[in-house]
């Protein structure tokens, strides 16, 4: 197993725990739907898994040193910059030369089905294209774990299905993909589901 959670939960200062403690393990090759009502703590759990937030209780164990990429709900980019540039930039940040960075970026765009849009400015991309661009940009960091927050929330049914299919392919390539979602279709495309249960404070 790549990650093991032992009774992990979180409470912000002065508040109750968001969700009941979680004990579970996750492996490479899995696509996990993180579900629960609005406010259940799905994004909070992703933040904990990303290492940007310490759980208020419980323990997380890693079987190896992992690189984690967290993709936020709303795609963000520079309007006039091309899709290729958005993906090449994090590769350049590793010290790669420009030609090598662009070659790697082109490979990643092809991997998420965006090879035909590599020269398009960010502002001209459709919602589904922009979401897939964020996935390609995240992959440029060569993560072991991909955390994705509501990737299909703003998309129509057909475009959402395309994004779900890409996520499934990424998981099959030996990444651990964890998707916070309200979508029944996204849940159905995942290999398992982790439902955050509302924590009922004790009297």
Q: Is 168 among the domain residues?
A: yes
pLDDT tens per residue, range 135-194: 999 999 889 999 999 999 888 898 899 999 999 999 988 899 999 999 999 999 999 999
> How far apart (Å, rounded) are the C-alpha atoms in residues 10 and 1?
23
**The pLDDT value given to residue 73:** 82
Give the angle subtended at the CA of 194 by the CAs of 188 and 198, to the nearest 5°: 120
Q: Is 183 among the domain residues?
A: yes
Pair (88, 50) in one structural domain: no
Q: Token digits for 127?
A: 């919602």
Helix (H, G, I), strand (E, B) or coil at 194: strand
Is 94's pLDDT higher than 90?
A: no
Is 45's pLDDT higher than 70?
A: yes
Q: Is 74 among the domain residues?
A: no
Number of domains in the chain: 2
Q: Which pLDDT band, with edges at 50, 70 and 90, does 41 fall under?
A: very high
pTM summary value: 0.89
Residue 33 structural domain: 1-66+144-203
Is 92's pLDDT higher than 80?
A: yes
Pair (49, 23) in one structural domain: yes
Q: Is 72 among the domain residues?
A: no
């Amino acid at each position: 197993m790549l990650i093991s959670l032992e009774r992990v939960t979180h409470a912000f200062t002065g508040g109750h725990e968001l969700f009941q403690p979680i004990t579970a393990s996750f492996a490479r090759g899995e696509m996990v739907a993180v579900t629960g009502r609005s406010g259940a703590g799905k994004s909070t759990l992703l933040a904990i898994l990303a290492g940007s937030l310490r759980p208020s209780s419980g323990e997380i164990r890693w079987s190896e040193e992992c690189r984690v990429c967290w993709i936020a709900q709303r795609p963000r980019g520079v309007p006039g910059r091309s899709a290729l540039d958005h993906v090449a930039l994090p590769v350049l940040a590793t010290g790669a030369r420009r030609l090598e960075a662009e070659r790697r970026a082109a490979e990643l765009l092809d991997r998420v089905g965006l090879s035909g849009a590599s020269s398009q400015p960010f502002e001209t991309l459709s919602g589904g294209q922009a979401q897939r661009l964020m996935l390609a940009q995240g992959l440029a960091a060569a993560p072991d774990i991909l955390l994705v927050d509501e990737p299909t929330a703003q998309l129509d049914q057909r475009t959402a299905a395309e994004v779900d299919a890409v996520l499934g392919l990424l998981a099959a390539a030996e990444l651990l993909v964890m998707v916070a979602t309200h979508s029944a279709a996204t849940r159905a495309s995942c290999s398992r589901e982790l439902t955050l249960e509302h924590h009922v404070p004790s009297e």
